[in-house]
Structures are given as structure tokens and as C-alpha cells.
Structure 1
Amino acid sequence: MPRVVLYQPQIPPNTGNVARTCAATAQELHLVGPLGFEISDRTLRRAGLDYWPYVPLTLHADWPAFTGVQGRQGGRLVALSAHGITPYTAFRFQPDDWLLFGRESDGLPAEPLQRADAVLTIPMRRSRHHPEGGVRSLNLSVAVGVVLFEALRQEADRP
């Protein structure tokens, strides 16, 4: 089963919504610090509602702590980034993948992107009516849901 990894998340309700998705799909959630909020934050708890007991949650103090755990457990590190070239729909996910998502404000920095085994993107339509070309990215919790459900769909389709 793929694992969801949030790199230094900043907005409690986004993390709470991702936690709810992980609870609903029985996926592990890994939070890589430093976090932009306290884990006991009221808005984080409210967004996850009463599902937190069903979330296999692991907190990692920082990037090196996470990479140590990921290295010991194995599996590919699959980063999602607006800078990726390969669409997530063209990628063959594996059950032991780690799905890595970046900060809401600026995504993933260079080090996690360089360490990733694959860097994927979620294709988005660019608007000819918007001077800067349209939407830069999706909300973090939406992006996690889109990619996680594709990985789970592929897993269900395996013989």
C-alpha cells in the first residue's frame, strides 16, 4: 500500500483533510517537520474530525530523519511537483511507493526532488483568459486524493 508523505505542511486544515483521506483508505501518513503548526492544533483536529484514531501516523522531526526511515523500509520515493514532466496517470505505481507532497506555499525544495526516484505532475488546463496562464497548483489535500486514488486503482487492477 502506498504511503502518503507531507513535507513540512503549513496549513492545519489541509493536513487534517489528508489525514481523513488516509483514514478512509487505510494508508499511512508521514509528516516531515518542521511543521507549520502544532500537531494538537484545533483546526487540524477539526478537519480530521473523529478519524484521527484510524490514521497510521508517523511524525519525522526533519528530512534526514524521514529519509533514514524510508531507506530502511525500502520502496520508491515518488515526488509530486508542478515542475515534474511525467503525468501521474502515465506512471506505474507500486504498492511500496512513498508519495511525497510539498509545502503549500512553495512545493518541494531541491533536495527532496533530487532524491526522488520519480517526479510526477498533475496536468492542469491552462487558461488563455488568465494573464499568468491559469492555476499554478491544486490544494494539497485535493492533490493527495487525486494521486492516492490513482495508485490504489492501479493496485486493485493488478492480477
Structure 2
Amino acid sequence: MNQTLAAAALRVALFEPRIPPNTGNVARTCAAFRTPLSLIEPLGFSLDDRQLKRAGLDYWPHVDVTVHRNFDQLNLQLPEQRRLIGCSRYGGLSLQEFQFEEGDVLLFGREDTGLPDPIRSRCDAIVTIPMPGSANAEGQGGVRSLNLSVACALVLYTAGVRLSLW
């Protein structure tokens, strides 16, 4: 049985995260901003992983975390009044220009491959963090992407400020 997730001003969702410390750090950020966290399987680790717990420190009891067996299950459980905002290093609207709305779900892709095209196509919008020191189209001459937990913190904080949540 699928039950609907509680409505939230913002929600963070990680699509198939692979690296335990990244997910632990995202969980800590979600705890700090009282933002629910959805993890979409398959995960690249066990939720009992020592590195995951260490990165989240003793904040895990303060995180509203839900695990979904796949992207479709997440979609079925989200409240109807929401937008799915994909966060990607390319092809999106600039973070500083994007207009967030209460109820937005901030979706981040895998650390190694990002959001796959079939998932991107199901997003209501794609947001990109501008990076003046970014690499060229061939991945040379600069930074290819930000760390997942850093990108999540930047987008979540920016969205919350724009919505006057904090």
C-alpha cells in the first residue's frame, strides 16, 4: 500500500545515491533545515553503513527520512500539489533566476552519473548551479561538478531563503 508523504515546504530526494558520507552529510543538512529527505533505491550502501552514520553524526533522529524502492514509488507517494525540481550540472535554469515554490521536491542524481534522461524528462524543471570555474563540454579545464552534499546544501538554502523559510 502506498501512503502519501506529508506535505512539506521543501523536500530533498536523492536518486540512487552511491556514497555513504555524501548521504550522511545531506541528512545532516536536512536535519538543520527541518527538511524531509527521500532516498530512492537502489542505494549504493546499507542504511546501517558505519560511514553513513558517521557523516550524519548524532543527527539521524532529527531527520525525517523515507526510503522508496524506486522513482515511481516516490512519485506515487508525493503530495499532488508539488513540483519535481531536478538539480543538474547542465541544461537547467540558473539557480539565481529560478523561482521556487512551497512544496517543491529538490531531486539530486547519483554522484557518478547524475540524473538519467528518463528521470530528467519527468521533472517539472531543471536547476543548475552556475560555476565560473566549470569544465568545458569535454570535461577539461575546470571543475566538472560539485560534491552532492555541497550542491544539495546550496540549492536547499537558496530555495529556503527565497521562500522566507529561514
Shorter-chain TM-score above 0.5: yes
Determine whether 1:143 maps to 2:151.
yes
Determine whether 1:156 maps to 2:164.
yes
SS in 2 for 1:124: coil
The two structures, once aligned, show a CA RMSD in angstroms of 1.7
Instruction: From 4, 7, 18, give the equivalent of 2:15.
Output: 7
Letter in 1 for 2:90: H
Determine whether 1:113 maps to 2:113.
no
Q: Give the corresponding residue for 1:74.
A: 81
TM-score by length of 2: 0.88
- Structure with more of its chain in helix, by fraction: 1
Q: Give the corresponding residue for 1:90.
A: 97
The alpha-carbon distance between structure 1 residues 76 and 127, as it changes in their structure 2 partners (threshold 3 A), is closer
Deviation at residue 73 of structure 1 after TM alignment: 4.0
Distance 1:97 1:127 in 2: 27
SS in 1 for 2:126: strand
The alpha-carbon distance between structure 1 residues 105 and 95, as it changes in their structure 2 partners (threshold 3 A), is same
- Structure 2: runs of 5 or more not aligned: 1-8
Distance 1:66 1:44 in 2: 22
SS in 1 for 2:121: helix
Q: Percent identity?
A: 49
SS in 2 for 1:35: coil
TM-score by length of 1: 0.92
Paired positions, count: 155
Deviation at residue 12 of structure 1 after TM alignment: 0.2
Runs of 4+ in 1 over 2 A off after TM superposition: none
8 Å Cα contact 2:134-2:145 kept in structure 1: no
